[in-house]
Chain A
Amino acid sequence: MPILEMAAKFGTYAVMAVILIFALGVVTLRNIFHCALCLAAALIGTAVLYVAFRAEYLAAIQILLYVGAVVTLIIFAIMLTEHLAGKTVRQNNSQSPLAIAGLLGFVALLTVVILKTPWPVTQTALKAKVSVMALGEALMGTYVFPFEVISIILIAALIGTVVIAKKDAPEERL
């Protein structure tokens, strides 16, 4: 049994490392299509992490919604807009050193804060198991108001997306 736990632990660390590598690929690769594929890989890795945290429903949602819908949407947008697929265009602006310096400071500060904070890790939470039924009951009971707000936001975004993206009559051209 300890061997199994060790394997799970190192497997989780390995998944984290793979996610970070793919995330670096997302922000550094020159071809934007490869970036989208790296994003899909990082999101699948996150779903694996959710399974390790015993949030299986979240993992399924992650695969279905992120990898299934959002990445597909991004790839469609890339294919609709990228007319210079063969040409190598500069993908980054010139703020890279400044951004790296600022973010290193940010990461160092927050790492110190994270390591110094005594997190109240409770055994009840570690032992708890969230079933899909409990999630549904919480969604329909305690959190019914945010749930309704999310529904309205989804409808508004759906209509707004169609209105923005639809082709209107060629009248004024900027």
Chain B
Amino acid sequence: MIGIPLSHILIFSLLLFAIGVYGALVRRNIIGILISIELMLNAANINLIAFSKYTSLSPATGQIFAIFVIAIAATAAAVGLAIVLALYRVRKTVYTDEVNLLKW
């Protein structure tokens, strides 16, 4: 099989997740934040698959939950982008720091 130790894959997906968190923290564009969230969900999926491949006694479990995560990610993207479009229609901006109606 593939001769990669499990810890290397976990560290890789940890780095991917950290990059996603960084993007979600520093992006001004709401679409950029959504893209970063997709990256984070992707890292979680890699972890699920790696664990189901390396440690699980019923290997289907990890893949099933990865499918669930992908479905949730698709709905999150759809709803998030719909909110972005509605916001853009009202405020004519997609930048988070310009959406400050409720801020004082």
Residue positions of A touching B, CB distance < 8 A: 5, 8-9, 12-13, 16, 19-20, 23-24, 26-27, 32, 35-36, 39, 42-43, 46, 49-50, 52-55, 57-58, 61-62, 65-66, 69-70, 73-74, 76-78, 80-82, 89-93, 95-96, 99-100, 103, 106-107, 110-111, 114-115, 119-122, 124-130, 134-135, 138-139, 143, 146, 150, 153-154, 157-158, 160-162, 164-165, 167, 173-174
Contact = CB atoms under 8 A, between A and B. Distances in A.
Contact of B54 (A115, A121, A129): A121
Contact of B32 (A55, A91, A115, A121): A91
Interface residues of B, number: 76
A47 to B, nearest CB: 10
A162 B81 CA distance: 11
20 contacts: A16-B12, A23-B16, A23-B19, A27-B26, A32-B31, A32-B32, A39-B39, A49-B49, A55-B49, A65-B70, A66-B73, A73-B78, A73-B81, A81-B88, A103-B22, A114-B11, A115-B11, A122-B55, A150-B68, A150-B72
A99 B25 contact: yes
B28 to A, nearest CB: 5
A107 B38 CA distance: 19
Given A35-B32, A73-B78, A5 B3 contact: yes
Nearest to A122: B55
Nearest to B66: A58
A77 B46 contact: no
Contacts of A107: 14-15, 18
A52 B23 contact: no
Contacts of A23: 16, 19-20, 39
B22 A27 contact: yes
B46 A49 contact: yes
A76 B51 CA distance: 35
B49 A74 contact: no
A55 B7 CA distance: 19
